Copies of this chain bind each other. A is one copy, B any other.
Amino acid sequence: MVRRGGSRESRREEILLAALDVFAERGYTGASIASIAERVGLSQQGVLHYFPSKDRLLAEVLRLRDERNLDVLVLPGEGGAITLDTVAALVEYNEQRRGIVQSFTVLSAESVIENHPARDFFKERYGTARVWMAEVIRAELGDELPAGLTPEQAAPLMFAVMDGLQLQWLLAPDEIDMPGLFRAFLSLLKARDSAPGLSGPT
């Protein structure tokens, strides 16, 4: 059965990685199955043999990317707790993976258009990520943040900063120090202000 590559599973992953690249370079709408196929030495129909449609291919690409990202986040914090520093380290690591960052930026923005196949994925992803991030912030900084912010407010701001910096960085890598600016934002959250009463981490 297997003609060229290894197992079916490894062939599928090969295609998924190529698809991630092509989606990063051209977006979902702009990417063609044929161009993905070419990159792994198959015909368009060869790719469709492994994935029934372009939509499904996208869905699996996103799932794979999420897994990998989780690895990056969870592995360093071996023992258990993920800290804000782990998140900053992820941002730093992202500087080495322009393709991944670009695919995420392009696809997530594209997904806001109606009926986009990735829309549900991103909506759910942000929803759960915000809850999770609020917990991380609360665990590390407590309930009282500067200027009276709550962890539930800080969490969406955190992702906004990450995403927004990625966009500016992709457009002008030489001008934007993405990890530096992200840490600067973190230090805003960690600062103790004098104005609104009781602060109390840990």
Contact = CB atoms under 8 A, between A and B. Distances in A.
Interface of A: 24-27, 29-30, 102, 105-106, 108-114, 119, 122-123, 126-127, 130, 146-149, 153, 156-157, 159-165, 167-168, 170-172, 175-176, 180-181, 184-185, 187-195
5 contacts: A27-B113, A112-B171, A119-B171, A147-B184, A160-B165
Please tell me how many copies of the chain the complex holds. Answer: 2
A127 B172 CA distance: 8
A165 B184 CA distance: 18
A193 B195 CA distance: 8
Given A106-B110, A149-B184, A160-B162, 16 more contacts: A30-B113, A102-B112, A109-B110, A109-B167, A112-B167, A122-B171, A127-B175, A130-B168, A147-B188, A148-B187, A149-B188, A156-B168, A157-B164, A160-B161, A161-B164, A194-B194
A27 B30 CA distance: 10
Contacts of A162: 160, 164
A113 B25 contact: yes
A178 to B, nearest CB: 9
A191 B146 contact: yes
A160 to B, nearest CB: 3
Given A149-B188, A195-B191, A168 B30 contact: no
